[in-house]
Amino acid sequence: MNDEGPGPVDLLLRHGRIITLDQQRRILVDGAIAIAGGRIVAIGPDREVGEAAVARARETRDLRGALVHPGLVDAHVHTANEIARGFAPKTHMDMDPIDLAMFTSPRTRDIDRLGTLLSAMEMVANGTTAFSDTGSAFNLDAAAGSIEMVGLRAVTGHFLFGDADLGAASDVRGIGTEEADLLKRPFEECVGLLTDQLTRYPFRGPQRVRGAVVMYGSGRSSDELLQRGMELAGEHDAPMVIHQHWGPDEAESSRAMYGKAPIEHLADVGILGPRLTLVHMIHLTENEARLVVETDTRVVHCPGASMRRGMGAIRHGRFPELLGAGATVALGSDGYLNKRDLLRQAFLMMMGFREVRGEFPIVTGEQALEMATLHGARALGMEAEAGSLEAGKRADLVIHRIDRPEAHPRWQDPVDGLMFYRQTSTVDTVYVEGEAILDGGRFTRFDAEAAYREIDELAASVLEQPLGPGTFALWPLVP
C-alpha cells in the first residue's frame, strides 16, 4: 500500500482525516497522500507517508485535519436537460410540456453545451468526480466539450432511445408512446451512433470523457440491438448502461410480449453480467433479484428521481437485499428534477428505507458511502482507477472544509458525520488526477460567472419565454 518510490512527488497532502475505502476500509486519523503523474503513489499515516515524501514533493498542502474521501461517482445522470430544472409542474406529475420542449423540439448545441456545463459544475461542487450520462446528448461533442472544460471523468454517449415499437405500452410518467415514436431510430442508425461514440471517445485510455454503450432501455430496444450493443461493449471493453424497471408497466408489457419478467427476458437475450448496468430497477421480482446477484449485473438506485415522481423505489425496491447478497448497487441522481448531489441521494435512500421498513439499520452510512464510491466505479467499469484512495489509483478525491458547524464535533470516526450531517455542504476542494478542478470552492478551469450568465439566458429563451414565465407558478410573479 505504501509504495514510496524514489521518484518525485507532484503533490503531497498531509494531515487529512482520510476515509480511504481501501480493502480494509481504513480511516487514517492523521493521514497523508502522495500523488505523482495523476495517480496516488502512497497513502498512509502521515508519520510514515508524509515524512517519507516531504523532501521529494513539489507541492505540499497541510489539510489541518480536514476530511478527505474518494471522489463520488454519480452512476446515472442526464446532463443535457439540466437547464429545465426548477421549471416544472407543481400540482401534478405530468412532465410532458417540459419533456416535449427538451426532447423533441429542435435541440441546439447550446442546450447540450450549457445544460451539461451546469450539470458538471454542480456535480463537482458537490464532490462528484465521475459520472455516467445514460445518453442524453443530441450534440455529443458539445456536451463532451463542457465535461472536458470542467475536468471531471465521464461515461457518455449520444441520445439513443432505441429501435423497438412497443405498440400501446408506454412508461408510467416516463417518455410516452407519442414521444417514443418520434425518438426511435432504425437499428443500423443506432449501431452507427454507438460505434461513433466508442471510436471517437475510447473507453479505455487516459482521457476523462469516454464513450460507452448507453441506451434508454426499458424495453425500447430490440433484442438484436441489445445483443449488438453488448458485443460492442465487449469489443471496446466498455460498460453498457440502460434504464430498466422504472414504471410497473415495463413488467406488464414484458409479460404480455414474452411471458416473462424483464430481467428474465434479458437473461434469455444473453446480456446479463458485470458489463451490464441497469438503472432504476424498482419493480424486481425475487427471481429477477436472484438473476442480478448470480450474474453480477450492476444496479443503479436513483432514490430522489423515484421519490420526486412517486415511482416506488423505496416502497418496492429490493436494494438493501441486493446489497446484502453482495450485488453492486451504485447511486444516481438521474434527471433534471433532482439536485446533482450524490450524498443527498445517499441520505434519501438511508432515511427512506428506515422510514418505510421500520427496522434499524437498513442501510448504514458506511454502506451508502461504498455505494457512492466503490459501487459507482464498478457500475461504470472504472474500479481499477477510481472509487477508493489506494496506491495505483487515479488521484480523484474530495477535501472538506473544517470551518462550518456541520463539520463539528470532529470524531475520529467521521463517517456518520459525513453521511448524516455535513454531506456535501462542506465540500471545499476537488481533485481529479491530482489536479484541483475546484479549489477552495472556486472552479479553476473557466469563468464560472460567465457560465452562469449564459446558462440563465439560454434557459429563459428555451423554456420561460416560449412557455410563459408564469406557466407553473402558484404565486404571483411581481415584475
Contacting residues toward Zn ion, per CB under 5 A: 334
**Which CB sits closer to Zn ion, 74 or 428?**
74
Q: Could you count the other beta carbons within 10 Å of the beta carbon of residue 4?
A: 17
**Which CB sits closer to Zn ion, 12 or 166?**
166
Residue 319 CB, shortest distance to Zn ion, in Å, is 16
Residue 273 CB, shortest distance to Zn ion, in Å, is 21
Residue 439 CB, shortest distance to Zn ion, in Å, is 31
Residue 78 CB, shortest distance to Zn ion, in Å, is 6
Q: How far apart are CA 313 and CA 245, in angstroms?
A: 10
Three-state secondary structure string covering 393-452: CECCEEEECCCCHHHCCCCCCCHHHHHHHHCCCCEEEEEECCEEEEECCEECCCCHHHHH
Residue 71 CB, shortest distance to Zn ion, in Å, is 21
**Which CB sits closer to Zn ion, 139 or 306?**
306
Please, are residues 420 and 365 in contact by the beta-carbon 8 Å criterion?
yes
Tell me the sheet residues that pair with 155. 132, 210
Inter-axis angle of helices 286-295 and 262-269, to 10 degrees? 40
Residue 338 CB, shortest distance to Zn ion, in Å, is 10
Residue in the shown chain whose Cβ atom is closest to Zn ion: 334
**Which CB sits closer to Zn ion, 303 or 365?**
303
**Which CB sits closer to Zn ion, 332 or 417?**
332
Q: How many CA atoms lie within 13 A of 324 on its CB side?
A: 9
Residue 226 CB, shortest distance to Zn ion, in Å, is 17
- The SS3 assignment for 296 reads coil
C-alpha cell at 295: 450474474
Q: How far apart are CA 50 and CA 60, in angstroms?
A: 9
**Which CB sits closer to Zn ion, 13 or 194?**
194
Q: How far apart are CA 264 and CA 7, in angstroms?
A: 52
Residue 112 CB, shortest distance to Zn ion, in Å, is 16
Torsion on CA atoms 113, 118, 124, 126, rounded to nearest 10: -160
**Which CB sits closer to Zn ion, 334 or 396?**
334
Please, are residues 212 and 132 in contact by the beta-carbon 8 Å criterion?
yes
Q: How far apart are CA 17 and CA 373, in angstroms?
A: 17
**Which CB sits closer to Zn ion, 250 or 334?**
334
